[in-house]
Structure 1
């Protein structure tokens, strides 16, 4: 059957499946979608509209194939600095109450998923493209474990099998396998000139992972029950260290001395046993149990925060650590076997070789099967350096990028093969430390590209902070012109206030307000889709693209902080000698206007000139004061940013 379009293969399969569903009479259902999904990028008030579902999805696919130009002009090689990234958790980002019954159902009465699916993510792509997004970063999309799962659906980070996709991300009525549906998403993104980056977790797995039965030796095992003798507790938990031990641990790690790191107590180590044989591993309910040759029953322990070693977080009941080394003296989970690896683990013969080999096959599988463009390694910096290097060698391709969930900005990240890191903009932007970040860039440049964002899926939402929506727009505008990767966390553009997870930067009161079982990371949730700033994002990104070569310049010589006597008036200049530059200035007081002089921190080759704000067309005079220092006088509304072109 001719489709009348030049379809990529998997996307064509999806289109044909929709056609069959329509012919069978399955199209006559009530199906509501946010009007923003149809009015690409629009800001302001929104609402939901009733559509015929098959026509809606087919029209969205046609809109993708009609996209002019055929793609984003990324440079060859590492494209990361040029990316405008949209971070999606598919299950949440495109969830909606499609039948209007007030509940976001995994499967509604008409047979459609209301939680997010690959099909809806395809339909969502034109909305993203209209905002200037050219790369999509997906939180894990692999099969989710059930043992110890939080909420209704469990965490995408509790990976049951890294080679299997999460069945909840498929649209059952298509009648297509998950792999075809995800491949269609990648094909659609590529057609629009968008890169696709997947996030992987390769240090932990779900406690009910498929691998447990196949390879029990890839896991730590502990006694099912134990008397509380030896001065310890009869319930398993993270190891405890004395203050003296903690002081020594911190000192040795700071000095990078990994010889003879203090081990946990003998009682704690006594929890751990050798693995049972595969035939003696059985699934009891949702939990793997094993029986040792001496008749003792064993189980897979929960993971916990391994660093710092006195972290007080409760155990992570849905995941466990993979056993990366086989040294008999280190058959336990602790900081010195999970992150700050004791030197003896690096000795020849103690790698868990088959496990390392299997982990090294994960990324190439997604490259070859789906054509992804990069990966984010969750806690990648905590993997053994040798394992990480081995995985990168296997996955090395022209234009394929590695991103690291690392909050530090260090040149060593690029030396290890990473193109970008998360960084700490999310932690600094709403505090005085944001100026410190700007001044560091002025002094040192940027050693590795980082995510310029005020929020991630683990942090409070920007719109929930002081300033709310004004702060969100302020942060977006400032970040667009930093020598960094503009990163938009899903829901940010909608002024969403409810966090996806509460992993970083929450107060005790906020943790009580957001119980884990109700968090979108673990349970069904849909954004309100009532208001957005898509038009503003689109306008800012267009301006960023106009000066892209200047914006992505990470050299300290291209970046200067502006000075003002008003603490809430901050800004910076992007500079290139003998050419055009950009001046970005903003008011981080979200209640009061600010007015005053702003000085350049350098005086080279600047003449008097009139500067015009790109957004309001307001003009200011760039002049020289008595000391021949360039300055301009500006008045800013609460939360307002202005961006000017300047000639040098």
Structure 2
């Protein structure tokens, strides 16, 4: 593989002038090996040296596209570039939105993401999953930077991800990023947003029939999710649970009448877009909201709108039965918004061609028509058979696997705070089997951080170790949300599992998904980073990979432990077993006993290396708060 774009980047860095005397540009020491602190560097020399080392010491492992094993063996580091690669480079105590005098940004850029790749590899990750990088809309913008999900042009990258000092576009830097990742044996998966766009999408003027429109009059001020009375809600829930999609209850006629039918014409006025209905009345693109459950309390999504997947006069409105739980009347090719579907299905192949990416996460995949999802997968795999597809879905069901997906987000983050619920979920999965892998994580950018309920406390670190070690032995894809290794507690976004009080404390202006923010790269939030621990656990996992990846029924049992707060999971395949034991109490040590068929034996704990004895069929364990142990057993217990 020719290193065209990385070489171009090195030349651009070498051509930069020396920094003026007194210019400050700091970088976190942890990016290059130390655990705490920061160091002052010449940015051109600093980044150029890292890239040169990648070029010199690469292994080309990522160039082999001959097999699909990497999709099941992925260990993921989730990177929101604008956030994870942000840093207070000039040391003034804030993250500026404009470039520094030296031409480099403090918000995260693709150049700094390249510099993070060796760090990510050292953690043990072999796949980088990037949240959306595409151009962001400016209308109704959330925070000072806008939401990466308010996508204005899905084929153009956000210019804020480039470094003005280099004179290179974000598109060139993404090509260099993928190239560098592949040289290090790291795969690159991008998140694609196909269900929504920004309310000022570049598609609106040319394709108004791809959008829902509402009347731009006094009633628009009161527009929001449709309300359903309790009996109707009960009816809806019952129908959906039975998968009965025929004649699903519709919103009231008053709500439906707010929407304008096609044709709509669009003109540009004072820099904005104005729609006109067939009778000449003004109209505007309808903003979005969480559609499921139909009484969801999430705040409206004022910066985005749903794309209109179907053209059907009776379903010209936004509600649960038009944008996710599709009424069966829409399962008719004559209703498909074909032009929109074709455009969507061509986006990933264009990124494959331009950037050589390895996979895609489909945002709100659960809300796309199944046929469209299958088409998206087919077109990408026609270009490359081992291309990975992940679905933002909570249920690892056979139907999702049949659509061509390799993994789902899963439901683990919703049960992690109660050991009883974790035990219930794993018992269920042991009984049914796991149809396809889910993400082994307690958090993502939409959920509370694992440490969120324990800000800056040792308990949060203990909890992170417990959850990470547990998920490492499950039939899952290890998933490191960037910042998790630093015990970061501050939420990225308030999407799921947050309270009204949380929403008051963290408006968009304070949330990293919408506004400038940096992790505590210098001090690890006052706690020792988990980097070496993560690398150790992942190394152990790799030794038992075939066993861990098995999702067959019966391969994941929950042994009895005399102490309820000590939780154990046994993974078994043939004569080999891997035993996890962890203390779910984050504040106090716990002692408990497990029983085995073998009478006496000596076991070596794989993480710490200590020896433990089975005496008279019993293994006695003493665990510190949140501490975990892994044991290899030669015979199935």
In which range does the TM-score fall when normalised by the shorter chain? over 0.9
Aligned partner of 1:393 among 356, 364, 378: 378
Specify which of 30, 34, 57 is matched with residue 36 of structure 1: 30
Counterpart secondary structure, 1:354 = helix
Separation in 2 of the partners of 1:291 and 1:346?
29
Bigger mean CA deviation after superposition, 91-100 or 510-519: 510-519
For residues 329 and 573 of structure 2, what CA distance do their matches in structure 1 show? Answer: 51
Among 5, 19, 22, which residue is 2:14 paired with?
A: 19
- Alignment deviations for residues 614-635 of structure 1 (CA, whole Å, 9 cap, x no partner): 233221123454xxxxx31111
Question: In the alignment, does 2:452 pair up with 1:464?
Answer: yes
> In the TM superposition, what is the alpha-carbon distance from 1:513 to its structure 2 partner?
2.1
Q: Which residue in 1 is equivalent to 2:132? A: 140
Separation in 2, partners of 1:276, 1:26: 59
Distance 1:585 1:373 in 2: 35
- Structure 1 CA distance for aligned equivalents of residues 574 and 364 of structure 2: 40
> Compared with structure 1, are the counterparts of its residues 52 and 81 closer, same or farther at alpha carbon in structure 2 (3 Å cutoff)?
same
Residue in 2 aligned with 1:3? Answer: none
Gaps of 5+ in 2: none
Aligned residues: 621
Partner of 1:445: 433
**3-state SS, counterpart of residue 153 of structure 2:** strand
Return closer, same or farther for 1:294/1:616 CA change in 2, 3 Å cut-off: closer
1:103–1:275 Cα change, 3 Å? farther
CA contact (8 A) 1:587 1:640 kept: yes
User: Deviation of residue 518 (structure 1)?
Assistant: 0.8
1:282 is aligned to 2:278: no
Contact 1:27/1:52, CA 8 A, preserved across alignment: no
1:238 aligns with 2:225: yes
Q: Which residue is equivalent to 1:357?
A: 342
Aligned to 2:582: 586
Asked if structure 1 preserves the Cα contact closer than 8 Å seen for 2:452 and 2:491, the reply is no
Matching residue of 2:407 = 420
State the secondary structure of the residue aligned to 1:49.
strand
| Local SS of the residue matching 2:557 | strand
Structure 1 segment 556-635 matched on structure 2, within 5 A: 556-578=553-575, 580-600=576-596, 603=597, 606=598, 608-625=600-617, 631-635=618-622
The 5 A counterparts of 1:324-363 are 324-363=309-348
How far 1:613 moved relative to its partner? Answer: 1.2
SS in 1 for 2:119: helix
Structural RMSD (CA): 2.1
| Partner of residue 504, structure 2 | 512
8 Å CA contact 1:21–1:27 kept in 2: the answer is no
Summarize the alignment of residues 203-222 of structure 1 with structure 2, pairs less than 5 Å apart.
Answer: 203-222=195-214
CA positional deviation for 1:209: 0.5
Q: 1:70 & 1:347 partners in 2: Cα distance?
A: 47
What's the counterpart of residue 628 of structure 1? none
Q: Tell me the CA shift for residue 110 of structure 1.
A: 2.5
Q: Secondary structure at the match of 2:15?
A: helix
Distance 2:367 2:444 in 1: 20
**Residue 38 (structure 1) shift:** 1.3
Q: 1:111-260 maps to which residues of 2 (within 5 A)?
A: 111-226=103-218, 235-260=222-247
User: Which residue matches 1:62?
Assistant: 52
Q: Does 2:71 align with 1:80?
A: yes
Deviations, residues 425-470 of structure 1 (Å, cap 9, x unaligned): 1122221211122322332332210111111111111123352111
Partner secondary structure for residue 168 of structure 1: helix
2:83 to 84, 89, 92: 92
More off after superposition, 550-559 vs 74-83 = 74-83
Within 5 Å, which residues of 2 pair with 1:464-543? 464-465=452-453, 467-529=459-521, 530-531=523-524, 532-543=529-540
Deviates more, 1:245-254 or 1:496-505: 245-254
Q: Secondary structure at the match of 2:191?
A: strand
The SS at the match of 1:307 is coil
Scaled by the length of structure 2, the TM-score of the pair is: 0.93
Does the aligned pair in 2 maintain the 1:276–1:290 contact within 8 Å? no
> Helix, strand or coil for the counterpart of 2:436?
coil
Any conservation in 2 of the 1:145–1:159 contact (CA below 8 Å)? yes
Q: Secondary structure at 2:286's aligned position in 1?
A: coil
318-327 or 387-396, which deviates more: 387-396
Determine if the alignment matches structure 1 residue 51 to structure 2 residue 38.
no
> TM-score, normalised on structure 1?
0.92
- SS for the counterpart of 1:375 is strand
Which piece of structure 1 moves more, 62-71 or 213-222?
Answer: 62-71
CA contact (8 A) 1:458 1:501 kept: yes
Residue 261 of structure 2 contacts residue 313 of structure 2 at CA under 8 Å; is this kept in 1?
Answer: no
Deviation at 1:234, TM superposition (A): 5.9
- Structure 1, unmatched stretches of 5+, are 1-5, 228-232, 626-630
- Shifted more, 367-376 versus 567-576: the winner is 567-576
Query: Deviation per CA, 1:258-302, whole angstroms, max 9, x where unpaired?
Result: 222222122212111134555x421544x4212335331111111
Report the Cα distance in structure 2 between the residues aligned to 1:366 and 1:234, rounded to whole angstroms: 39
| 2:95 equivalent in structure 1 | 104
- Map Cα deviations across residues 337-357 of structure 1 (whole Å, 9 max, x no partner): 111112222223211111111
- Determine the structure 2 residue equivalent to 1:404: 391
CA separation of 1:248 and 1:440: change in aligned 2, threshold 3 A: closer
* Aligned equivalents of 2:331, 2:592: Cα separation in 1: 59
Partner Cα separation in structure 2 for residue 543 and residue 358 of structure 1: 44
SS at 2:247 equivalent:
coil
Aligned equivalents of 1:252 and 1:583: distance in 2?
42
